[in-house]
Amino acid sequence: MSTIVCITCPRGCTINVEQVNGEWQVTGNSCKKGKEFAINEMTAPKRTICSTVKTTFADAPVLPCRVSADIPKDKIFDVMKEINKVVVSKPLDRGDVIIKDVLGLGVDVIATSNLLTQI
Amino acid sequence: MIKTCDVLVIGGGPAGLAAAISAHKEGARVVLVEREARLGGILKQCIHDGFGLVRFNEKLSGPEYAERFIDEFRELGIESKLLTFVTSLERIPEGFKATLVSRDGVEVYETKTVILATGCRERTSKQVFIHGTRPAGIFTAGTAQHFTNLLGQLPTKRCVILGSGDIGLIMARRLTLEGAEVVGVYEVKPTPSGLTRNIHQCLNDYNIPLHLSHTVTRVFGQDRLTAVEIAEVDDHMKPISGTEEIIDCDALILSVGLIPENEIAETLDVQIDPRTKGPICDAHLMTTVPGIFSCGNALHVNDLVDYVSESGETAGKYAAHFAIGTDRVPVEIHPNENILYIVPQRIDLSEDNHETVVYFRSKEVFEKATFRIVADGKTLFEKRYTFLKPPEMEKVVVDFASFNIRANTAIRAEVEVEGQ
């Protein structure tokens, strides 16, 4: 049996998860999302990553960004490398795509602020 | 020329934005003053996600959360004054006189009410006693966050983090993602200060060790930090001789607590609660000075921004009501020894107290505890908890109107621990 802490919400439930006859048994979770998280954590753990990309704008040298959906945990540093290659030169708005389908993961890197449209 | 308004909001972070929007919706003439060039407060640099789960049921980053409020603030056409400081606030018969300084020069506003949404400040290295030289490279976690997320400059290649507050944990992950080495997080207390989920997603995910009951005892370096000395501490948080260890690093990042900012409040003799370090407030978040309201992290340090916005809305609504005018009847709420603090500290009998939002933190980690509100011996509210942890703020909604509370009623807030 494995004990994990759910990171889905600030409640941070301690969840016990174990495989019995090919079925995942999850206890200690307070909601459906916790069960889903626990099973994912045992089979294919995923995370959201948030970072910044460089820009050519002097008043806003970096633009905050994140992945549009969770990515496999073991791809975090590969995606970071892609994010750090980008230099934004257009005044992108919040939600605009910075990198389409990053590393073929089916997930985009998107801007999380409209700060470039305000300068 | 003297300008007038009903509600003057000081601070354009999440609390001030929510307060201004809510006061405007209640029909008040609102002016919001912000010292920085952009609205959004500290959320501008909190690029990580996890904001808005309670309020929007979505996992937003700090800028996304703030911009939802900024968009609404602008759509409503509320007046804001950016790059503007409040240099003085004085009482006058009509309310308050605020002197503002900006690039336009000095301006004076007369306002019926003031909402203090000035946030909190990080405890600095000056407030944590560390021996040694005073080299560059010792930052608060918020300063490291400012460098990394707003200026795009990595402030360290190899660092030690002192204190396990949430911003320190978030920065441990952030710096690691950007290629810096975080040697470890050292916490003087035997329990972590940050949220459990942050220990897991920021430290454990990246194999960053957390050393409880450890502290930094010395720093080394002339121009720039070159190393720190770490030691284990005893039950009284005193370093244990012989446990010292020298760690080479170019930065020491401090995440050792936040303190509500109430400099302006103090100039008006607003009473401060030594437990929260914010103003003593009634359930409408009015301080002990009629017409002065407090919200967000200036009131008490919140764990989630969702609650910061919520308190801003409460303060905004009742500041707008106060501009019209009512007589208040305050009754104190007395917390017992297991409660670190409770907000509000008093309720006002002249207002509707049917659904009063109450926030509290326990003094220690308690298992199987019951939180109760008792008025003259009668229990008005009761909730059982499997766990109460000081880093995790609890929120409950209490119907104070279910009991005939009078000005002399004794209201107590209790945490009772099973077996204690």
Q: Determine, for residues B197 and A12 on separate chains, whether the beta-carbon distance falls below 8 Å.
A: yes
| Total tally of structural domains belonging to chain B | 3
Q: Which of B215, B236, B256 is the last residue of a domain?
A: B256
Q: Same structural domain for residues B414 and B386?
A: yes
Chain B partners within 8 Å of A84 (Cβ): 178
Kindly give, in sequence order, each residue whose CB lies less than 8 Å from that of residue B282, ignoring residues fewer than 6 positions away: B328, B330, B344, B345, B346, B347, B348, B351
Q: Which of residues 251-310 of B touch A (CB under 8 A)?
A: 303-304
* A99 close to A93: Cβ distance less than 8 angstroms: no
Nearest chain A residue to B166 by CA: give it.
Answer: A10
Cα–Cα distance, A58 to A86 (Å, whole number):
16
* B215 close to B233: Cβ distance less than 8 angstroms: yes
Q: What is the ipTM of this complex?
A: 0.93
Cα–Cα distance, B233 to B254 (Å, whole number):
18
Per-residue pLDDT at A108 exceeds 80: yes
The percent of residues above 70 in pLDDT, for chain B, comes to 98
Nearest chain B residue to A111 by CA: give it.
Answer: B64
A6-16 per-position pLDDT tens digit? 888 878 888 99
Please check whether residue B406 touches A, CB under 8 A: no
Cα–Cα distance, B146 to B44 (Å, whole number):
9
B166-222 per-position pLDDT tens digit? 999 999 999 999 999 999 999 999 999 998 889 999 999 999 999 999 999 999 999
**B150, B177, B195 ranked by CB distance to A49: nearest:** B177
Q: Which of B256, B290, B316 is the last residue of a domain?
A: B256
Q: Determine, for residues B197 and A5 on separate chains, whether the beta-carbon distance falls below 8 Å.
A: yes
B318-361 per-position pLDDT tens digit? 999 998 765 567 788 999 999 999 999 988 887 788 889 999 99
**A47, A76, A113 ranked by CB distance to B67: nearest:** A113
**A12, A50, A76 ranked by CB distance to B196: nearest:** A12
Tokens 């979770």 belong to residue: A29
Kindly give, in sequence order, each residue whose CB lies less than 8 Å from that of residue A94, ignoring residues fewer than 6 positions away: A111, A112, A113, A114, B63, B64, B67
Q: Same structural domain for residues B252 and B264?
A: no
To which H or E segment does residue B102 belong? strand B95-102
The boundaries of every CATH 3.10.530.10 domain in chain A are 50-118
Q: Determine, for residues A64 and B197 on separate chains, whether the beta-carbon distance falls below 8 Å.
A: no
CATH number for the domain that contains residue B348? 2.60.40
Q: Same structural domain for residues B131 and B245?
A: yes
Chain B partners within 8 Å of A113 (Cβ): 44, 63-64, 67
CATH number for the domain that contains residue B61? 3.50.50.60
According to the model, what pLDDT value does residue B403 have? Answer: 81
Tokens encoding B74: 């602008």
**A48, A62, A84 ranked by CB distance to B49: nearest:** A48
According to the model, what pLDDT value does residue B325 have? Answer: 65
Q: Determine, for residues B67 and A12 on separate chains, whether the beta-carbon distance falls below 8 Å.
A: no
According to the model, what pLDDT value does residue B326 have? Answer: 57
Total residue count of chain A as it appears in this document: 119
Q: Determine, for residues A64 and B199 on separate chains, whether the beta-carbon distance falls below 8 Å.
A: no
Please check whether residue B152 touches A, CB under 8 A: yes
Flag residues of chain B having pLDDT under 50: none
Q: Same structural domain for residues B270 and B214?
A: no
Torsion A94-A99-A100-A103 (CA) sign: negative
Q: Same structural domain for residues B164 and B182?
A: yes
Q: Determine, for residues B61 and A64 on separate chains, whether the beta-carbon distance falls below 8 Å.
A: yes
Q: Which of B34, B38, B46 to mutate to test the interface with A (most CBs of A within 10 A)?
A: B38
According to the model, what pLDDT value does residue B328 have? Answer: 66
The CA R_g of chain A, rounded to the nearest whole Å, is 18
| Long-range pairs, A95-99, Cβ under 8 A, ≥24 | A98/A53, A98/A63, A98/A65
Q: Whole domain around residue B319: which residue ranges?
A: 1-122+257-325
Tokens 């307060």 belong to residue: B19
A22-60 per-position pLDDT tens digit? 889 999 998 999 999 999 999 999 999 999 999 999 999
Q: Same structural domain for residues B158 and B249?
A: yes
Q: Determine, for residues A10 and B195 on separate chains, whether the beta-carbon distance falls below 8 Å.
A: yes
Q: Same structural domain for residues B89 and B168?
A: no
pLDDT averaged over every residue in chain A: 94
Q: How far is B344 from chain A (nearest CA, A)?
A: 23
* B330 close to B151: Cβ distance less than 8 angstroms: no
Q: Determine, for residues A10 and B392 on separate chains, whether the beta-carbon distance falls below 8 Å.
A: yes
Please state which CATH class domain A50-118 belongs to: alpha beta
